[in-house]
Structure 1
Amino acid sequence: MQVKETLNEGLKRGYNITLTAAELEAKVTEKLKEAQPDVEMKGFRKGKVPMALLKKQFGQRVMGEAMQEAIDGAMNDHFESSGDRPAMQPDVKMTNEDWKEGDDVEVEMSYEALPAIPELDLSGIELEKLVVKADDASIEEALASLAETAQDFKARKKGSKAKDGDQVVMDFVGKVDGEAFEGGSAEDYPLVLGSNSFIPGFEEQLVGVKAEEEKDVTVSFPDDYQAEHLKGKEAVFACTIKEVKEPVAAEINDEMATKFGAEDLAALKVQIGERLEAEYLGASRAVMKRGLLDALDKMVDFDLPPSLLEAEAGQIAHQLWHEDNPEVEGHDHPEIEATDEHKTLATRRVRLGLLLAELGQKAELEVTDAEMTQAIMNQARQYPGQERQFFEFVQQNQQMQQQMRAPIFEDKVVDHVVEQAKVTEKEVSKDDLQKAVEALEDE
C-alpha cells in the first residue's frame, strides 16, 4: 500500500493511495479463508470447498468488501501516524474509473485537518459573578403575580353586563333540530367568556348578558367535531343567566398558598425565594459564561477549517432568515447568502467550539448515560402523552443525541474552566442583573 502526499496548504491535505492488485488479491484470499470453514457447497463436505471454487463463486462479492477494508485501514493508519484529525468526513474517490480485476486500485483522499490548539493558562482568567438575593419586595411581587393567576370571581353589581373575561354562571339546554342531545345540557355552569372552552362563536354571543336574562345562542358544530352525529350541525342553546361575576385576584393568605402545594403562606414565601434565587443564579451563570467565552476568544488565535466556517456561517444565516420570516416554516425559499457579519460570528463560534472540545478532551470530561437520560426525560415532558415515543426516537437517532449531548458537554467544560479561573462575586440588584442579561441578547 502506497500513500503519497499531493497537497499540504494550511489545513488542507491531499493524498493518493495505491492498493496494488497483489495486495487486493491477498486480502480477498484472506477473507475467503476466514469464511471457508463455514461454507457448504453441493459435492463437498462443509469447510472443504476448494479455494479456486470459492474465488469463482464468491470472489466478486468479497472483492468490494476487501477493497473497502483495505482503503479504510490505510486511512486509519495515516491518521494514527500523522496525528491529523479531519474536521469533516474525508472526501475519498477512486481515480481509475476504468478499473478492472487485476489492476491496481488508485484512490484520492482529501480533507481539512483540525488545527493544533495552543496550551492555555486558565488560572489567569478573571471573571465576575453577579449575585442577587431574593429580597422581600421581590417575593411580594411574585406573590402578587401568583394571586393574579389564581384569580377568583365575585358577583358584579345587579344589572351589570357581562364583559370579556367575566364568568357567567348559567343553566343551558342545547337542541339540534328541536331535540335535546346528550351532553348538551348543564346547570350552574361557570363559563369564563373568552376562554374558548365552548364551541366557536358561543362565548361571544354572551358578552353583554345580565343576571336573570334568558338568551338563545345559535352555533354550528365544527365539521371535525368529535361526536359524529353532531358534525356540522346547527344547534340552539337556551341559556338562563344566573350570575355575572368579574375576575379578582385571589387573596394572599394560607388558603391561596395551599393551592400552589405549600403548607401555608410562610412556606410558599420560602419556596418563592428559593425559585427566584435559582432563576437569578441561572441568569448570573449565563452572564459569567459570556464573559468567559469573551476571555477565551481573546486568548487564542489559530487557523480554522474553511469547510467548518462555511457550514457554520450558512447555518447562522439560515437561522436568522427564518427568525425574520417566521411565516415560512419549510425550506422552500430563495438561497440564503452568508454575509460578512455571519462569517465573523461563525469564526468566533468555530474557534471557541474547537477550543472547548480540546479543553474537555484534555480534562477527560464526558457526558454520562445518566446525564443523557435526564436530558431526554426533561425534553420529553414537552410532549405530554408521547414521552415514551420521544424517548425511543432519540435513542434511535444519533444526530438528535449529538444535538442534546453538545450543550451538556459544553457546560461541563465551562464549569471546569471556571473552577481554575479567578472568580470575584459582586452583589447587585435584580434590575442590574436583568440589564446584564439584556445586554447579552443585544450582542
Structure 2
Amino acid sequence: MAITVETLDKLERRITLSLAVDVLKNEVDARLKKLARTTKADGFRQGKVPMNIVAQRYGMSVQYEVVNDKLGEAFAQAAQEAQLRVAGQPRIAEKEGGPVEGVLQFDATFEVYPEVTVGDLASLDIERVAADIDDAAIDRTVEILRKQRRTFNQRAADEGAQDGDRVTIDFEGKIDGVAFEGGKAEGFQFLVGEGQMLEAFEKAVRGMKTGESKTFPLKFPDDYHGKDVAGKEADFLVTVKKVEAQQLPEVTEDFIKGLGLADGSLDSLRADIKKNLEREVKFRVAARNKAAVMEGLLKVVSFDLPQSLVAAEADRLVEQARADLKARGMADADKAPIPAEMFHPQAERRVRLGLTVAELVKANNLQAKPEQLQAHIQELAQSYEQPAQVVAWYMSDRQRMAEVEAVVIEANVADFVLSKAKVTDKSLSFEELMGQQG
C-alpha cells in the first residue's frame, strides 16, 4: 500500500497510520493471558486469578503499551516504505471520530533530515597553526614541577609578604558599611602574586607583616562571578596572621628520581618533559585547526535545521550545565532552572556542523579506520603511568569508543578540508598556543 506523505513545512511531514481494532484486541488479550500466569491476588493461587480481575487491574496499561508498540512498528514501516530519513521522534495523535470500519487512525507529524550540500571548499581561507617546543618551555615546566613540591618556612616578624609567599589572613569586606556573603574568612591562605586573588587584594597584602592590619578599598570587576558584588566597591579589613616564604627544591638526582625517572639525570628529565609537551602541543594544535575548519564550513553550507534535533541538543546542553554546577558543589543542581532557549544558538551551530560533517564523511569515505582508533587511544594512554590499563579501559566500553571515533572522524574531516582550502600557515610560540582555548 502506497504511503501518502503530506508536506506541512520546510522539513515537517505528516502521514496517517492505521491500526485494526481486532489486531489490537488480540494482542491485548494475549499479553493479559501471559500476565495472568504470574499474577497474585488475595484468595487465589498464583496463575489462577480470573481473567476479569487481571483485565481490571492491568487492562488499561497493557492496552496503552500495545497501541504504542503497534504505532511504533507502523511508523517505522511507513517511513521505510516512503524512503524517509526521519529526524527526531514523531508526534502521534489519534484522529477524531473513533474507529472507522474497525480501524483506528492516527496522524504522525515529524521532521525529515535536510539535503545537505557543501559548497566549494577551495573558496575557504583557513589559517593553520603550528608550534614547537623550545628550551624556555621546558625550563618553565621544570619550575612548575619545583613549585608543586615546594615547602614553606615562616618569615621573621619584620619581613613583609613577597611574591611567592604563602600568607594566612583574616579578612572582612563591607559594601556601604554592610557585610556581604562570601566577604569574610578566618585563617584563609593564598599565594601572593599567583593570581589566586584579585590584583587589588594582592597588592594591598603585598609587603604586610605578621600581626599587621590594613583597611583598603577594592572595586569588583563588572564581570565578577559573584553577581551581587560585581561592579561594586567594598572596603576590606585584612589582618595578617602568618607569612611563609617558599622553599623551592633543587633539581637534584633524588628530585628527578622522585618524578619517576630511574636514572635521575637532568637530560632524562628534560627529554621526558619535551615528550609530554609535544603531546600536549599536538592535541592543542589539532583542536585549534579543527575549530578553524569548522568555522570555515559554516560559511559554505546553508540548509534548514530539524527543530527537533536542535531542541534535543539544547536539552543536552542544559543537562551538561547542571552537571557542571553539581561538580562545583551547587546544591540541587539537577533542579536548577536553566532555560533551554539560552542554548539554542549553540545547539543550532552544533546540529548544523554535525549534519555537515556527516555529509562530508559519507561523500568522501572519511570514516574512522580501526588502526586510527587504536593509534589515537595509544596516544591518549601515553600520558598515564600504566598505558595498557588505559587502552583496555577505552576498548572495554562502547560509549568511550564512540567518543574516540567521533574525535578521529572530525580529524579526518579537518585534514580533508585543509587539503582543499586555501591555507595560510602560521607559527605560534608555545605561550601563544597554551593561552588559546582549544
**TM-score w.r.t. length of structure 1:** 0.56
Distance 1:259 1:277 in 2: 22
DSSP 3-state at the match of 1:9:
coil
CA contact (8 A) 1:96 1:105 kept: no
Distance 1:147 1:119 in 2: 51
Residue 304 of structure 1: how far off its partner (Å): 0.5
Mapping 1:194-273, distance limit 5 Å: 247-262=246-261, 263-273=264-274
Judged with a 3 Å threshold, the aligned counterparts in structure 2 of structure 1 residues 364 and 108 are, in CA distance, closer, same or farther, namely farther
1:365 is aligned with what amino acid? Q
Q: Deviations over 1:280-337 (max 9, x none)?
A: 2222112111101011111111011123334445665786799899756524455637
1:365 corresponds to which residue?
A: 367
Q: Larger C-alpha radius of gyration, 1 or 2?
A: 1
CA contact (8 A) 2:318 2:338 kept: no
Judged with a 3 Å threshold, the aligned counterparts in structure 2 of structure 1 residues 28 and 155 are, in CA distance, closer, same or farther, namely closer
2:430 corresponds to which residue?
A: 430
Cα-Cα RMSD: 5.3
**TM-score w.r.t. length of structure 2:** 0.56
DSSP 3-state at the match of 2:105:
strand
Judged with a 3 Å threshold, the aligned counterparts in structure 2 of structure 1 residues 25 and 156 are, in CA distance, closer, same or farther, namely closer
2:271 is aligned with what amino acid? V
CA contact (8 A) 2:12 2:112 kept: yes
1:251 is aligned with what amino acid? E
2:415 corresponds to which residue?
A: 419
Judged with a 3 Å threshold, the aligned counterparts in structure 2 of structure 1 residues 265 and 4 are, in CA distance, closer, same or farther, namely same
Judged with a 3 Å threshold, the aligned counterparts in structure 2 of structure 1 residues 122 and 93 are, in CA distance, closer, same or farther, namely same
CA contact (8 A) 1:28 1:63 kept: yes
Judged with a 3 Å threshold, the aligned counterparts in structure 2 of structure 1 residues 154 and 72 are, in CA distance, closer, same or farther, namely closer
CA contact (8 A) 1:88 1:111 kept: yes
Distance 1:323 1:306 in 2: 25
CA contact (8 A) 2:322 2:334 kept: no
Residue 359 of structure 1: how far off its partner (Å): 3.3
Residue 5 of structure 1: how far off its partner (Å): 3.6
Distance 1:287 1:141 in 2: 23
Judged with a 3 Å threshold, the aligned counterparts in structure 2 of structure 1 residues 65 and 290 are, in CA distance, closer, same or farther, namely closer
Judged with a 3 Å threshold, the aligned counterparts in structure 2 of structure 1 residues 72 and 284 are, in CA distance, closer, same or farther, namely same
Distance 2:86 2:145 in 1: 54
Q: Deviations over 1:401-438 (max 9, x none)?
A: 76x56643432222212332336543321233245x15
Distance 1:122 1:360 in 2: 14
Distance 2:135 2:10 in 1: 60
CA contact (8 A) 2:20 2:103 kept: yes
2:132 corresponds to which residue?
A: 133
Residue 22 of structure 1: how far off its partner (Å): 6.8
DSSP 3-state at the match of 1:299:
coil
| Residue ranges of structure 2 left out of the alignment (5+ in a row) | 38-53, 168-187, 191-209, 211-243
Judged with a 3 Å threshold, the aligned counterparts in structure 2 of structure 1 residues 347 and 109 are, in CA distance, closer, same or farther, namely same
1:224 corresponds to which residue?
A: none
Distance 1:332 1:152 in 2: 43
CA contact (8 A) 2:323 2:334 kept: no
2:194 corresponds to which residue?
A: none
2:80 is aligned with what amino acid? E
CA contact (8 A) 1:367 1:408 kept: no
1:308 corresponds to which residue?
A: 309
1:108 corresponds to which residue?
A: 107
Distance 1:156 1:250 in 2: 18
CA contact (8 A) 2:314 2:344 kept: yes
DSSP 3-state at the match of 2:292:
helix
Residue 19 of structure 1: how far off its partner (Å): 3.0
1:305 is aligned with what amino acid? P
Distance 1:156 1:333 in 2: 46
Judged with a 3 Å threshold, the aligned counterparts in structure 2 of structure 1 residues 19 and 413 are, in CA distance, closer, same or farther, namely same
1:84 corresponds to which residue?
A: 84
1:13 is aligned with what amino acid? R
Distance 2:91 2:129 in 1: 48
Judged with a 3 Å threshold, the aligned counterparts in structure 2 of structure 1 residues 357 and 409 are, in CA distance, closer, same or farther, namely farther
CA contact (8 A) 2:118 2:356 kept: no
DSSP 3-state at the match of 1:106:
strand
2:138 is aligned with what amino acid? I
CA contact (8 A) 1:304 1:350 kept: yes
Residue 139 of structure 1: how far off its partner (Å): 1.0
Mapping 1:377-392, distance limit 5 Å: none
DSSP 3-state at the match of 1:90:
strand
CA contact (8 A) 1:152 1:248 kept: yes
2:341 corresponds to which residue?
A: 338
DSSP 3-state at the match of 2:17:
strand
